[in-house]
Structure formats: structure tokens, C-alpha cells
Amino acid sequence: MNPVLTLAFVGLALITVATSCSHDDPQSPSYVIETIPMPADLEAETGGLAFLPDGRLAACFTRGEVMIYDPAQRNWEVFAKGLHEPLGLWVVNARELLVMQRPELTRLVDTDGDGEADLYEKVADDFGLSGNYHEFNYGPVKDKNGNLFIALNTASYGGKIQPNTRGVVNTLGRDGADGRRQMFSAVPYRGWVMKQTPQGALEPYASGFRSPNGIGIDPDGNLFVTDNQSDWVETSTLYHVKEGHFYGHPASLVWKEGWNRGSPFDLPIEELDHMRTQASVYFPHGIIANSPAQPVWDTTDGKFGPFAGQLFVGEMNHKRIVRVMLEKVKGEFQGACIPFLDNQGLPIGNNRLAFAPDGSLWIGQIAHGWSGDKGIRRVTFTGKQPMDIYRMSLTTKGFDLSFTRPLDAATALNKDHYRIRHYYYAYRKKPFDEPIDHSQQSNIQQIGIKRLHLSPDGRTVSMELDSLKAGYVYELELHNVKSKDGMPAENQTICYTLNNLLE
Amino acid sequence: MKIKKYQKPIRALLVLIILYGTGLEADGAATDSARTIALEAVSGMQYNVVRFQVKPEETVTLSLTNKDDMAHNLVITEPKAREAVVNAALALGAKGPERDYIPESEQVLWTIPVTYPGEKKAVTFRAPKKEGAYPYVCTYPGHGFLMYGVMYVTKSGDGMPDLAKDTNIPEARRQEQRPARPHPYELSPPYWYRAFLEGTSLASIAVHLPQQLSYCWDMEFCQLRYAWEGGFLDNADLWHGHKNAYAKILGTVFFSDRITKPIRIGEPGAIPRVDYKGYRVRDRYPEFHYTVGDSDVFELIKELPGKRGFIRTIRIPDATEPVWYLFDDASGATYEFSAGVMQKGKVVLTPAEAREFTIQMIKKENP
């Protein structure tokens, strides 16, 4: 036998032994979190993470470094330096990366193979800069046709427009009347998602974003963007982004082709509301997420546990990331969000996520003047099946709640063990004096359960509710629902965004 | 639930909610004898005061003025209970917002509810009888692990530990600790930063050369903008984030080009269309690539050994028309061209000469 293969078999046998042991131990965790050692003197504010095909990690940091980490050697090397606030990375190959920095999307190439980039080539810079500190740029991500997508943050009322702007200045994108707390778009395409075609043109793609610090493409090619709660974004969101659509923050509309309606902040709210596309998922503020970041899809086929196909989304303000499960209803994505890895050792500031080829999830932290942290954590599935809600899906009369482990029928079929309420987040202009992180749930109502049913395999609770209404978030709390072997669910609160009812 | 003996006064005394700006005279109104300790929530997830001292059973009014742009609260806990209370606040989950993110816990002693930017709120209480270190912390989600301080209840006036060794306050507040180096590698010139700089486009680069020389090159206009002697850049504000900032130049600017797009191809009078393409690192120095009109231009800038100036190597490999370089006598530097015919304020080069030429630029000693 080939000696390498022999080793692999021994290794596999050891892992099998290890995992079968831990299956039975209720105390052993399903996930372990390790802190990656960072180089001395690196200000490890992580702007981007991406894996090279050989399993090494590329990471960029806000002081302008791109570094490459070899997990086998536990060793960091410099790939590029001197960049301006890089906040996103895309791997082309082991010698070539795309990096999103403040003034441009840049291709970094190690042409001579010495391990360090020697070519810093502009890919795209056809967007405005006002010098405002909040004009962050995110991405890129690439679709199957070779198009790249980036997202451009609006500017903050907390900073001015600098005198040396790039691009035409249009102050109609800045609310002067009463919106002290409105983010603004005074230079082209702030608040837009942009598409860079393989032919080289940067085109406006979709508008209405406030602070879209998370962009990702699912395995089927659907583009998703997260946005951060505040003005016009009553609670944080996950959008399914389609060409030409508007997602609700008005500032960016001034850059819509042919715009002749003056200040978009002055349009009647009904008209703006009619124009906008709803979020696929609302992340209830203070409950699930306050500041969501990058979404990644679990394409590990089980190497990362039972949630294959679902999304994991970074979150800046809780010691967690967020798990999202989507389904299509009436042809549109909607779904539920639930905390993931609460109180298991993650810090706050969870900004960038990337799955390693071995199926572990790497999470890079950032603060950058806000609440956050630094460094990189690695999350590995131990093989022990967690006790958690696997999926929440809509039915004609309520929801199906499926679990990762068979349930104890007595606790699962007790109506008192569930608390359900619904509410919605009104689309509105933030009043002049309202604090930026004030988020209002409207029409909060407790919803009663008519009937509970447990599937024969004990894994799915079907709940029939007293009422079910489109346009609401359904927040469900578990109280004392246990698995057959007595484990409580790791996460007790899940929120489903019900945009559409089943037909 | 066990009721703590010093929990009673909370119910008896009023929690004052005073809007910022009108609170000054109201401060003392809670009780005549209360000492007021004014805290501010400031940017960077911190209270401006990280520790203070009170006497056992002293009546204290603690006010919180929010000068940050995020919401904050303040919770005083039993000694050593800060983390437990922060975790209990997080565990409130959906109930957090309606409860000001304050958990029901016997470890919570006194509280100031969520205070929004610009607001001021206060709480008056009688300090514990028992000496000790009583933490105060913001339990708004995500804040509690960074934003805290400590109230020392001590009979003597000097009961606080050495600030540098005080483990009850955030590490960053024990002393101002800056990393020895700004990056995980040595910085030896030439090195550079893309950064927001004044006096140039926002898309620019600052390059530090040997001999205490630095220059700024503008990627939007594709031209050398200015050069300076002395130190390089102070990036602290720019790197901090969360406010408008430029990298500050640490030196004296001796050259500044007032001409827009000084390279002209075919026609010296018209301001050409330029497009920045990128740079390649050649022998550790960046060589800029851009187009002027339809022609590719490459520009490499190095220090002039032993001189207070630099040498620019400019290549226009496919030039088919004459190339002009326009210069300004008042720029602060002398110009010396390796080729071309000098005219007033400009040099003209043949296409063959323009394939590669140099400009030596030296600081004028008496401009």
C-alpha cells in the first residue's frame, strides 16, 4: 500500500474513533473555536478572507497588508502592502488576488513567483469618492459568467464631503432638510451594487443600499447583500439582489439613469415603498443581529456539520455569527435567521467568513473605530451532532420546525414550550432627533398555537397558528424543548421573515 | 430572591432623566448631600472615566452623558460580576430592547437605562457598606466586553491600585500602549501607502524614498503632485477609522506641481485624457503605468544619490508623435532633462527620445 494512503487510513480511523466517542458525551461541544496566531505587530483588523486552492488563507487588514497563512506551518507571509483600507478579497489563483481598496478594485499578481505581489493593476475605479470616512467598498464576488460585483457604502452625516472629490458632486443625494441622521450619496454610485463585466466596464447594477458590509453569491448564482440597520433600514437585512432593483435607502437614487425627481429624500414615502424590493430576511435588531457582515454558504457537504446549503452571516455586535435558512415562496427567497455559536468563545466584530477546503469556517474580526475585535478564529465541527433547529419553513397554516436530533415528544408537543410573536419593521425616514441605533418593532402581537404535531421520525414539529400574515417577522422562542436524549436546543430564538404566504 | 440591604435605596431614590443641555442645575437636586460623578460615553466604546472612588455608604449621583453616536447604558454590579451580568444581558435575547438590555439579577446593583446620543441620565444611590471594586459596564449588546470601568468603595482616600496594574479596567486604558512597529515587517525605504492625502486627488499614493525624501503621486490625474523632505506620514487618524481623516505629512514640502497633466503628446496646448493602469514593483520601487491619450506611459521615481532630489525615468515606448513636458519654474525644484529641446516652460522630445528619458529634479535652495 502507498505509505501516504496508509497514513490517511490510520488518520481516518482515529477520527472515526474520536467522533464516535464524542457522540455520546452530552458535555462535549459540536464545534470548537481556535484563535489563529497572528504575526507580531500586525493590527489584525480583518477586511477580507479567502482561501487559495492549496488550502492557504489570504487575509487583508485595514492598514493595507495582504498576508498569507499556511495552516500546516502556522506561518504568515506578506503578499502585498501599502493598500488603502482593503475590505474584501477574491482569489483568482495562488499567485493572483483581487482586492477591494478604498479608491479602486485592484489585481495583485506575483508575476515572478517569489511569494509577494509585484503587479498592482487597476481593475475598476469608475465610482466616486467624497473622502467621507464611511464610503467603504465591499467585495468583490464573481458569478459564473465572470462578472464581478462590488458594493459601495453611502457616506455618513458624521463626516463632510472633502474638497478633493472624485466624480461629479450631486448634493441632491444628501438630505438637507431635516435628515441629520441620513446617510448620503453625493458622488456617483454610493449606495449601489456595481457589476464589473469581463469586458472591463463597471456598471450600476442595483441601488438603495445603506451600509452593505456583506456581499455573496450562492452556489446557484444568486447575489445576496446584507445591510446595516439605521436610517431607512429599520432593522438589518439580507437582500436578494437583482439587476435594476431598488432596496430602500433613497440616497443612491440620484445616480439612477435619467433621474429627474430632485431629492429622493423628498419623495412621498408611499412612492419609495412601492419602488423598493423587500429584504429576504430581516435580522431583528438587538435580538439576532445589529450589524451583519459577510454571508457565506455552507458548501462543505457535511464537513461543517448538519447545515449544508445554509448561509452563515457575520455579526459585529454579538459574540456570534448568524445562520440563515432560505426557501422560495411565490418565486422569491424568504426565510429564517437564528444565532450560531452563542457563548462558545467567539468574540464580537465577526466581519469576514471563509470556508477552508477542510470544511472549517474561518472568521476574521474587525473594529475600525466601532464596537468589534481583532484577529481570526477557526471553527471546526467535531462530528458531534448539535441539538439545534435545523430549519424553519412555512406551511399553509403555520411553520414546520425541524431539528437536528429527534425530539422528546412530551416537551416538543407542549404548547407552553413555544412563544411566538409577530411584528414588522416599518419603512420610514428616520426622524431628526431619533438615535441612529433606535429600531422599532411595529404591531407586536403574541400568536397562539392551535395545534402541534410531531413527525414519525421525531425531528419535525408542525405548528398550526391562530393566524398567519404576510409582511411580518415571526419570532419563535423555545422554552424547554428537548431532544430525545435530554439535550436543550443550543439556540432558542429564531425569526422567520414572512413576505409571502404559500398559495 | 434575596434582597440586598443596599438595594433598597434604588426604589426610594429617583432615577433622573435629564435631557442633555438642561441638566446642569438639576444635577444637585436629587439630594443635597449627593456627590455627583459625571461620566460620558465617548467614541471608541468607552466611558471617559474608567475608575473612581467613593466612601462606604456615601450618597452618590452618577450621571451618564452620551457623547458617542451609539446608544449606551450603565449597570453597576456586585464585585467580580461584570462578565456574568453582561452575559445575562445578552441572554435576554428578544426581551433585550424593552428592558434596556438590563438583566434581572441580584448581581445588578444600580442602573442607568439606555441613553441615546445627546441624552443625559443619572442615578442616585447610597454606596455599599462593604469595601470593594464594583464594576460598571454598558450592557448594550456587544459593548460590555470593552466598555466598562470600576467604582472603588474604600474608606481611605488612596485605595485604588496602580493604574498600570489595575485589572478592573480595560487593558487599553491602563496605559497608552502602541505597537512597536505599525506592521509585521520592517519598513525600509522605498515603501508606500495608498491613502487620503491633502493637496492631491483622493486616489493617490505616498512613497517614501531613501534620503528622507517622499513624494505624492496622483492616480486620478496621473502625475507627480508634490514632494517633501523629513519624515513620512502619520496615518493614525486615517487608520483609526470612524471619522474623516487624511494621512498627515511629516516633513516640509519643497516641490509642488501646479500644472495639470504635464505630459502632452502631439499637442502641447490641450489637457489630455489620462487613465491610471497600475504599478509594478521594479527593484523595490513602484513604476506607474498610465495612458496619456492612447499612449502607454511608464514612470519610475528614485532618489538622486547624494542630492536633495530625485530622478524620474519616463518611458513612452510606442510614441509616434512629439512629446512635451510642461514645467513650472515656481514649483520649488530645478528640472534637468536627459533629452529634448528646452522651450519656455516646456521641453519637447522626439518620439524616439520619448521612448525613455529622465528628469532630474532637485530642491531649489533659495526659491
Three state DSSP letters for B165-203? HCCCCCHHHHCCCCCCCCCCCCCCCCEEEECCCCCCCCC
Closest CA–CA distance from residue A77 to any residue of chain B (Å): 9
User: What confidence score (pLDDT) does residue B180 get?
Assistant: 60
Q: What is the mean pLDDT of residues A84-88?
A: 98
Beta-carbon neighbour count of residue B310 at 10 Å? 24
Chain A CB contacts of B244 under 8 Å are 131-133, 159-160, 162
pLDDT at residue A368 in the model: 92
CA distances to A85, A344, A475, B26 from A401, in Å: 42, 24, 12, 54
Residue bearing the bigger pLDDT, B59 or B31: B59
Would you place residue A24 in the very low, low, confident or very high pLDDT band (cuts 50, 70, 90)?
A: low
Residue B243 near chain A (CB below 8 Å): yes
Residue A299's pLDDT is 97
pLDDT in tens, B230-284: 999 999 999 988 899 999 999 899 999 999 999 999 999 999 999 999 999 999 9
Of A470, A174, A465, A459, nearest to A334 by C-alpha is: A470
The partner residue sitting opposite A122, judged by closest CB among B191, B278, B281, is B278
Over residues A410-427, the mean pLDDT reads 98
- A65 Cα to chain B: minimum distance (Å): 8
Q: Which CATH architecture has domain B5-174?
A: Sandwich (2.60)
The three cell numbers locating residue B128? 455599599
Question: Tell me, which fold does domain A389-498 have in CATH?
Answer: Immunoglobulin-like (2.60.40)
Please, which residues have CB within 8 angstroms of residue B231's CB and are 6 or more apart in sequence?
Answer: B212, B250, B251
* CA-closest candidate to residue B251, choices B290, B288, B211: B211
Check pLDDT > 70 for residue A324. yes
Interface test with B, best of A36, A38, A41, A79 (most B CBs within 10 A): A41
Q: What integer is the mean pLDDT of A481-492?
A: 96
Q: Which of A23-32, A290-299, A385-394, A488-497 has the lowest mean pLDDT?
A: A23-32
How does the average pLDDT of chain B come out, rounded?
87
- For residue B5, give the DSSP letter: G
Total count of residues recorded for chain B: 367
At A26, is the pLDDT very low, low, confident or very high (cuts 50, 70, 90)? low
If you ran DSSP here, which 8-state letter would residue B9 be given? H
Interchain proximity B194–A131, CB inside 8 Å: no
Where are the domains positioned within chain A? 29-381, 389-498
Q: Which of B43, B142, B204 sits opposite A317 (nearest CB)?
A: B142
Residue of A nearest to B282 (CA): A118
Per-residue pLDDT tens digits for B74-131:
999 999 999 999 999 988 988 888 899 999 999 999 999 999 888 899 999 999 999 9
Q: Rounded mean pLDDT of chain A?
A: 93
Q: Are A137 and A123 in contact (CB under 8 A)?
A: no
| Bridge partners of residue A389, in order along the sequence | A403
pLDDT at B17 over 70: no
- Compute the distance between CA of residue B30 and CA of residue B1 in angstroms, rounded to an integer: 29
Q: Greater confidence, B329 or A422?
A: A422
- Cα B166 from Cα A386, distance rounded (Å): 40
What does the pLDDT average to over B169-193?
A: 81
Instruction: Look at the domain A29-381 and name its fold.
Output: Neuraminidase (2.120.10)
| pLDDT for residue A122 is more than 80 | yes
- Tell me what the mean pLDDT of segment B282-296 comes to: 97
> At residue A369, does pLDDT exceed 80?
yes
On the 0-12 / 13-18 / 19+ scale of CB atoms within 10 A, A210 is buried
pLDDT band at A283 (very low <50, low <70, confident <90, very high): very high
Taking CB atoms and an 8 Å cutoff, what residues of chain A touch B101?
A: 286
The pLDDT of B12-27, averaged and rounded, is 33
Beta bridge partners of B357: B314
Quick one: average pLDDT of A184-195? 98
Which residues of chain A does B204 touch, with a Cβ-Cβ cutoff of 8 Å? 103
Give yes or no for B178 touching A (CB within 8 A): no
Bridge partner residues of A152 (DSSP): A137
> Which residues does chain B have within 8 Å of residue A162's beta carbon, measured at their own beta carbons?
196, 202, 244
Select the residue from A36, A69, A104, A122 to test the B interface by mutation, using most B Cβ atoms within 10 A: A122
B205 lies within 8 A of chain A by CB: yes
Closest CB to B142: pick one of A118, A371, A436. A371
DSSP run (H or E) holding A53: none
Distance CA A148, CA A99 (A): 12
Would you call A101 and B194 a contact, using CB atoms and an 8 Å cutoff?
yes
Question: Does B339 contact A at CB distance below 8 Å?
Answer: no
Percent of chain A with pLDDT over 90: 89
pLDDT digit string, tens, across residues A54-74: 999 999 999 999 999 999 999
Q: For chain A, report the end-to-end CA distance as a whole number of angstroms.
A: 59
The 8-class DSSP code of residue A39 comes to -
Tens-place pLDDT, residues B306-356: 999 999 999 999 999 999 999 988 999 999 999 999 999 999 999 999 999
Amino acid occupying residue A106: T
Percent of chain B with pLDDT over 70: 89
Asked if the Cβ–Cβ distance from A370 to B242 is below 8 Å, we say yes
| Residue with cell string 489637457 | B271
ipTM, two decimals: 0.93
Query: Which residues of A fall within a CB distance of 8 Å from B235?
Result: 63
Instruction: Please compute the mean of the pLDDT values over residues A427-456 and round it to a whole number.
Output: 93
